[in-house]
């Protein structure tokens, strides 16, 4: 059963199109990821799904409610953890949860029970009566997740839930998200620009680039589409000339230059390495190192966009600066 249905969703800000005819469906109980660089349109898409932005065109239903016609029903059926912190630092963890529950009209008896349950879920029972301004970044994120679950939403939206956190804390948050989905069956929509986060958590992931979805499937299937292993060569001398020579190899499915190295995609990569080394020797190419690995979601992103997410991060920031400058001058 589909709990979210999106068709032709578009959002324009003047002449700038932030989201361009996006369509996808999310199944009940699924962790669905929107993966792409900052500025690609992920957060704008989420804001339309949770009724904070009105679509320029297209249709969206969340838990059976239309985001244009029945905003209240949509809001009652969802929980949200925003990209930017939204806790009151001058309240305790418990008070933050209680205040949120009151806003959602959760009755007193039920409210007390749910606050206790959420503090236990996110392992903050012993920190419940400490002011949030004294919490670590990871503790705040966990409290926000618990807060978003207080009214028992059908769908949980997590917009860049681990941004700004250290690697260990990010892993901790992943475990909470996975536990939430596994034990409570909560449908989760996750936006991220962390490749490994989408790969670890998501049942399916959509690649978002320049406001469009360029690929959508399970992480496993997306990686299988690469059609083989990834071989990376570090060479001495002119890398462009070397890459041009390597493109003559018939079995190489793709040969490209990425981050100062030559990258091959090929079946049975372990068997191809000796052939690559022999080819290099015959054609006067000095190979300094060889690396073999299975394809990653980063490789898939490169296949569909021609750039790494890190490269796209820079271009996305440039686009956003241009957009903000245009709006400031209006």
> What's the pLDDT tens digit per position in 7-63?
999 999 999 999 999 999 999 999 999 999 888 999 999 999 999 999 999 999 999
Q: In Å, what is the CA distance from 124 to each residue of 27, 89, 135?
A: 31, 15, 10
pLDDT for residue 311: 60
pLDDT for residue 324: 46
Burial of 20 (0-12, 13-18, 19+ CB in 10 A): middle
pLDDT for residue 329: 39
pLDDT for residue 201: 95
> What's the pLDDT tens digit per position in 95-143?
999 999 998 888 988 999 999 999 998 889 999 999 999 999 989 989 9
pLDDT for residue 140: 93
Q: What value, to the nearest 5°, has the Cα angle with vertex 269 and ends 293 and 298?
A: 35
pLDDT (mean) for 195-213? 95
Residue 286's pLDDT band, with cuts at 50, 70 and 90, is: very high
pLDDT (mean) for 217-236? 90
Does residue 322 have a pLDDT over 50? no
Q: Rounded CA gap, 227 and 284, in Å?
A: 29
Q: What percent of the chain has pLDDT over 70?
A: 94
Q: Rounded CA gap, 198 and 98, in Å?
A: 32
pLDDT for residue 312: 57
Give the chain's domains with CATH numbers: 2-222 (3.40.50.300), 227-294 (3.30.70.980)
Q: In Å, what is the CA distance from 250 to each residue of 113, 165, 303?
A: 66, 45, 19
Does residue 319 have a pLDDT over 70? no
Which of 54-58, 249-253, 324-328 has the highest mean predicted lDDT (pLDDT)?
54-58
Residue 259's pLDDT band, with cuts at 50, 70 and 90, is: confident
Which of 47-51, 98-102, 239-243, 311-315 has the lowest average pLDDT? 311-315
> What's the pLDDT tens digit per position in 157-174?
999 988 888 888 888 889
Residue 250's pLDDT band, with cuts at 50, 70 and 90, is: confident
pLDDT (mean) for 165-185? 87
Q: Rounded CA gap, 34 and 40, in Å?
A: 10
Q: At 74, is the secondary structure helix, strand, or coil?
A: helix
Does residue 189 have a pLDDT over 80? yes
pLDDT for residue 228: 83
Cα Rg of the chain, angstroms: 23
pLDDT (mean) for 180-194? 90
> What's the pLDDT tens digit per position in 272-284?
899 999 999 999 9
Of 214 and 85, the one with more pLDDT: 214
Does residue 241 have a pLDDT over 70? yes
Strand pairing class (2-13; 57-62): antiparallel
Q: Report which DSSP code applies to 54.
A: -
């Amino acid at each position: 059963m589909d709990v979210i249905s999106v068709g032709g969703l578009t959002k324009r800000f003047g002449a700038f199109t932030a989201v361009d005819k996006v369509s996808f469906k999310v199944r009940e109980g699924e962790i669905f990821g929107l993966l792409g660089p900052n500025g690609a349109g992920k957060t704008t898409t989420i804001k339309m799904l949770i009724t904070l932005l009105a679509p320029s065109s297209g249709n969206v239903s969340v838990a059976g409610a239309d985001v244009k016609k029945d905003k209240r029903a949509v809001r009652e059926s969802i929980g949200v953890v925003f990209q930017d912190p939204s806790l009151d630092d001058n309240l305790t963890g418990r008070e933050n949860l209680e205040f949120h529950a009151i806003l959602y009209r959760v009755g007193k008896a039920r409210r007390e029970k749910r606050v206790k349950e959420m503090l236990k879920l996110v392992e903050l029972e012993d920190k419940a009566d400490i002011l949030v301004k004294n919490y670590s970044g990871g503790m705040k994120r966990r409290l926000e997740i618990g807060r978003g679950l207080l009214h028992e939403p059908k769908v949980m939206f997590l917009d860049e839930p681990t941004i700004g956190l250290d690697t260990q804390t990010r892993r901790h948050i992943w475990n909470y998200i996975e536990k939430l989905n596994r034990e409570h069956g909560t449908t989760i929509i996750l936006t991220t620009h962390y490749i490994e986060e989408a790969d670890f958590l998501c049942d399916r992931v959509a690649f978002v680039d320049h406001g469009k979805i360029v690929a959508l499937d399970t992480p496993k299937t997306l990686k299988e589409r690469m059609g083989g292993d990834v071989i990376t060569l570090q060479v001495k001398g002119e890398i462009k000339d070397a890459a041009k020579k390597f493109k003559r190899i018939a079995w190489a499915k793709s040969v490209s230059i990425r981050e100062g190295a030559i990258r091959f995609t090929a079946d049975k990569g372990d068997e191809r390495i000796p052939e690559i080394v022999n080819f290099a020797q015959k054609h006067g190419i000095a190979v300094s190192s060889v690396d073999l690995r299975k394809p990653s979601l980063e490789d898939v992103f490169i296949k569909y966009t021609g750039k790494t997410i890190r490269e796209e991060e820079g271009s996305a920031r440039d686009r956003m600066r241009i957009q903000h400058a245009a709006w400031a001058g209006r």
